[in-house]
């Protein structure tokens, strides 16, 4: 345990120092940091998809992260109502708060299937459903349930392999005729792989940006080039500065998809770097 804590402290100190030093003058902190809206950092539970809920809770305590975007994977947030209630009780007891659920498939354009997904999110007391794959023709049905449940739907883009939603720009364009509670979950890795400038994407969709999945890549053409945040080419400081200037109030959720059986070194390093960027911009970090 002592070794794990020492390693984490080393990563946090090193990551924060490196990130703070790398912050661009374009997003340097103002004279009064209190006047600026900060960012909420969270974890996408898919990062720890090979681990149980109990292990997930333990890892989050080690990370000093209490905000979770939960998915029905392993036993993180089961769709069965009784099992879901137990999961919610476990998170509450551990001091972990859920702010979104997903990615959840809305591929079936049917009332029964869609209602079950909204009920699942409602039972968890959440206001954001991160949706993976609703077809454009299903958006009127999505809107019906958004209005009934007062739950935001953030459609997640999946890069050039996704012929419908490769980037948040396609999502944003498609949802314009519909209720403003239907919007985007930007996956920054998939966005840059789709050939879209991530800063411009955030600017374009900011009025309907309800969640953001963060990761880093060393090659914007290769989804398998993912590394710990801060080790790749993603302009983290510029993204954070842009989100803050746009007064984004949602969560920046780490979705670290590599090394699924042993992810914690990269996850630790990613949070250390992100906290360092925020510290360099004048924001306190835990």
Q: Which helix (H) or strand (E) holds 15?
A: helix 2-22
Average pLDDT over residues 119-147: 97
Task: Please give the C-alpha separations between residue 191 and each of 167, 202, 259, in angstroms, as whole numbers.
Answer: 5, 10, 21
Position 124 in a domain: yes
Q: Can you give the residue range of the structural domain that contains 173?
A: 2-29+37-280
Q: Which helix (H) or strand (E) holds 140?
A: helix 139-149
| Span 161-214, pLDDT tens digits | 999 999 999 999 999 999 999 999 999 999 999 999 999 999 999 999 999 999
**Residue 65 lies inside a defined structural domain of this protein:** yes
Outline where DSSP puts E strands in the chain: 40-44, 67-70, 97-104, 128-131, 152-156, 182-187, 209-214, 216-217, 226-227, 251-254
Residue 60 located in a structural domain: yes
User: What is the number of domains present in the chain?
Assistant: 1
**CA pair distance 222, 270, nearest whole angstrom:** 19
- Digit-coded pLDDT (tens) for 16-61: 555 544 554 334 333 333 334 479 999 999 999 999 999 999 999 9
Residue from 218, 220, 228 nearest 269 by CA: 228
Give the CA count within 13 Å in the CB-facing half-sphere of 246: 21
Residue 285 inside a domain? The answer is no
pLDDT interval class at 155 (50, 70, 90): very high
Label residue 104 by pLDDT band (50, 70, 90): very high
Whether 286 maps to a domain, the answer reads no
Token pair belonging to 72: 């029905």
Q: What is the pLDDT of residue 20?
A: 47
Backbone φ and ψ of 204, nearest 5°: -65, -45
How many helices (H) and strands (E) are present in the chain, helices listed first? 10, 10
Full-model pTM: 0.88
Output the domain CATH number for residue 171: 3.20.20.150
Question: How confident is the model over 178-189, as pLDDT tens digits?
Answer: 999 999 999 999
The pLDDT of residue 24 is: 43
């Amino acid at each position: 345990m002592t070794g794990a804590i020492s390693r984490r402290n080393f990563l946090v100190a090193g990551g924060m120092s490196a990130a703070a030093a790398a912050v661009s003058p374009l997003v340097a902190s103002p004279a009064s940091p209190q006047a600026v809206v900060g960012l909420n950092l969270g974890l996408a539970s898919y990062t720890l998809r090979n681990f149980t809920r109990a292990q997930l809770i333990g890892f989050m305590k080690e990370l000093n992260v209490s905000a979770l975007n939960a998915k029905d994977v392993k036993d993180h947030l089961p769709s069965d109502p009784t099992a879901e209630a137990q999961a919610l009780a476990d998170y509450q007891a551990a001091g972990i708060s859920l702010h979104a659920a997903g990615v959840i498939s809305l591929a079936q354009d049917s009332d029964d299937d869609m209602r079950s997904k909204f009920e699942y999110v409602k039972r968890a007391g959440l206001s954001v459903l991160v949706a993976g794959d609703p077809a454009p023709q299903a958006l009127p049905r999505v809107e019906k349930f958004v209005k009934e449940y007062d739950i935001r739907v953030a459609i997640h883009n999946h890069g050039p392999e996704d012929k419908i939603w490769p980037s948040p720009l396609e999502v944003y364009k498609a949802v314009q005729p519909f209720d403003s509670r239907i919007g985007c979950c930007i996956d920054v890795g998939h966005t840059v792989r789709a050939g879209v400038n991530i800063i411009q994407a955030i600017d374009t969709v900011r009025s309907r940006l309800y969640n953001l999945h963060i990761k880093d890549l060393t090659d914007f053409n290769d989804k398998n080039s993912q590394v710990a945040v801060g080790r790749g080419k993603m302009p983290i400081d510029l993204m954070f500065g842009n989100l803050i200037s746009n007064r984004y109030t949602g969560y920046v959720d780490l979705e670290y998809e590599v090394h699924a059986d042993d992810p914690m070194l990269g996850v630790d390093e990613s949070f250390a770097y992100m906290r360092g960027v925020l510290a360099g911009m004048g924001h306190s970090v835990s």
